[in-house]
Structure 1
Amino acid sequence: MNKKSNTRVIEKGASFRFGWQNYYHFFMDGLTQLNALDAFDPKGEIPIILPDHYHKNRFAKDFFSKIFPNNREIIVQSSKEYLFVKKLYLLKEDILSCSLDQVIDQIRPSAKLVDDKKIFITRNSFSGRTIRNINEIMPILKDFGFEVVDCNEMGLLEQANLFSSASHVAGIHGAGLVNTIFKKGGNLKVLEIAPGLDFQPEHYKNICKKFGFEHRMIFGKNLDFQTNFILDPQELSNLLRDF
């Protein structure tokens, strides 16, 4: 590729970058950047720069087409071109700062905080980190009144509305648990299922601490090479009885 012939010159712009395929990083690394930009440039005079593949990502497409304020220009960069930006702004924000609250309010401006749903977040087999004995687990979840959802099959606003009405959320550690943020201002109990004792991330524990949610963990065993695991049905049942 000839750099000169494939270079577009723009006066200014803010580079918006994060792990595009990951829902967690979209919120924690991506949207908090935009709020940092709004605080720095409330008039919306600095365009944001997006890669041309952003619309292939359902939650990013939902956000930029339905929620993103139209007073700020979006510059879409083709994968076949270079941008020469005369004044480039790089964005960074503390993921658990007040910016996260602003993100939630943008997406869930009028949701009613009710406590009437128990939600279990499952993961498809292509994602890895799945429960190998899920057939033993499903009847237990049903007995305790849990609705099983796959967040990959839902739009952004659909997820926000669903989780804002949750009283309990249980799920395998993964990006779907970030939806607990939509219960901000309400009461929520969160059960995080980790593949094994040597896997104890604190992403969602920290979110729960920030918003005052109850957080518990249960651990699987017998991991395979894709971190799929066995979950003890009796241990889960005992925990849910007191959950």
Structure 2
Amino acid sequence: MLHHVFGDNYFHFFMFIMNKVWLVEQFGLPRSIPFLVNATSANTPFFRQAQELGAFFGRDVVVQGRREIVKVDQAYLALPFFCNAETMTWIAGVFRDEIDETSEQSDRPVFTIRSSTAPNGRLFRNQDEVSRLAEKAGFEVLDPATMTLKEQANRFAKAPIIAGAHGAALTNMIFRAGKPTGVIELFSPSMGSPHYAMMAREFGFCYRSTLTKNPEGRTFTASTEVDLVELEKMFDDMLAQVQN
């Protein structure tokens, strides 16, 4: 069973769905046994793209609709560890291509942004200034929501530093598994969780975080402002550390 209550979220897809795939594969369950997943998860673009990329290793995927009961003779419930480096490294390998250090693909640091239509809000009211500062520091500013799963896997696999607001985009640090990496996370003072710090620690990445300021709006979706002086210092410090 690949069910998860927040299975339509990019972070939860990797941490609570793909980690179950890892466990099933590690224990060698016959591939004739299908996966069962709820419709909410199955209908997300990244889940469909994962299917197209062969992430479920040829197993059939049975989609369970809302309020639908699926009758089975025997069910297997996978309960893997959360945020485990071995598991996350395996998952990264399912999606990213082999890293070619000589390729022309960009290897600049990445600063992730959220579009004005992002469902969870948490926008920076001074995003234009933040983006200019990031570009000046050598970062590529991009919105992962505009990219396919494969494009995200291959782009973030080449990013020596990943920075941005607390949110699902930082999940892409998983594709840097096995490489020295810096992570900068900008927290709204009205909400946050330690998950990305936990991921960074598990991988041995250099991690820094700071709070943005002046939240406006509802707790979980409030817009904020970034302290540009502090952010510039964080960029400089992280760039120096990664280059060393």
Q: Give the TM-score taking structure 2 as reference length.
A: 0.85
Q: CA deviation at 1:123?
A: 1.1
The answer to whether structure 1 residue 49 and structure 2 residue 44 are counterparts is no
Q: CA deviation at 1:191?
A: 0.7
Q: CA deviation at 1:79?
A: 4.5
How has the CA–CA distance of structure 1 residues 48 and 200 changed in structure 2, closer, same or farther, with 3 Å as cutoff? closer
What is the root-mean-square deviation in Å for CA atoms of aligned residues? 2.1
2:55/2:95 contact within 8 Å kept: no
User: Aligned partners of 1:52, 1:199: CA distance in 2, in Å?
Assistant: 28
| 131-140 or 176-185: bigger deviation | 131-140
Give runs of aligned pairs for residues 38-187 of structure 1, distance below 5 A.
38-52=25-39, 54-79=41-66, 81-97=68-84, 98-112=86-100, 116-125=107-116, 126=118, 127-187=120-180
Counterpart residue number, 2:226: 231
Q: CA deviation at 1:148?
A: 1.1
1:113/1:183 contact within 8 Å kept: no
User: Aligned partners of 1:90, 1:119: CA distance in 2, in Å?
Assistant: 37
Map Cα deviations across residues 40-75 of structure 1 (whole Å, 9 max, x no partner): 334323211133454531111111111224442222
2:186/2:211 contact within 8 Å kept: yes
User: Aligned partners of 1:113, 1:35: CA distance in 2, in Å?
Assistant: 27
The answer to whether structure 1 residue 240 and structure 2 residue 235 are counterparts is yes
Counterpart residue number, 1:219: 211
Q: CA deviation at 1:110?
A: 1.5
Counterpart residue number, 2:3: 17
Structure 2, unpaired ranges of 5+: 239-244
Paired residues, number: 228
1:112/1:164 contact within 8 Å kept: no
Structure 1, unpaired ranges of 5+: 1-14
How has the CA–CA distance of structure 1 residues 80 and 227 changed in structure 2, closer, same or farther, with 3 Å as cutoff? closer
Amino acid at match of 1:16: L
2:39/2:63 contact within 8 Å kept: yes
2:53/2:95 contact within 8 Å kept: no
**Larger CA Rg, structure 1 vs 2:** 1
2:89/2:178 contact within 8 Å kept: no
1:54/1:61 contact within 8 Å kept: no
Secondary structure of the 2:74 match is strand
What percentage of residue pairs aligned between the two structures are identical? 28
User: Aligned partners of 2:193, 2:68: CA distance in 1, in Å?
Assistant: 38
User: Aligned partners of 1:38, 1:138: CA distance in 2, in Å?
Assistant: 41
Q: Identify the structure with the greater strand proportion.
A: 1
| 19-28 or 84-93: bigger deviation | 84-93
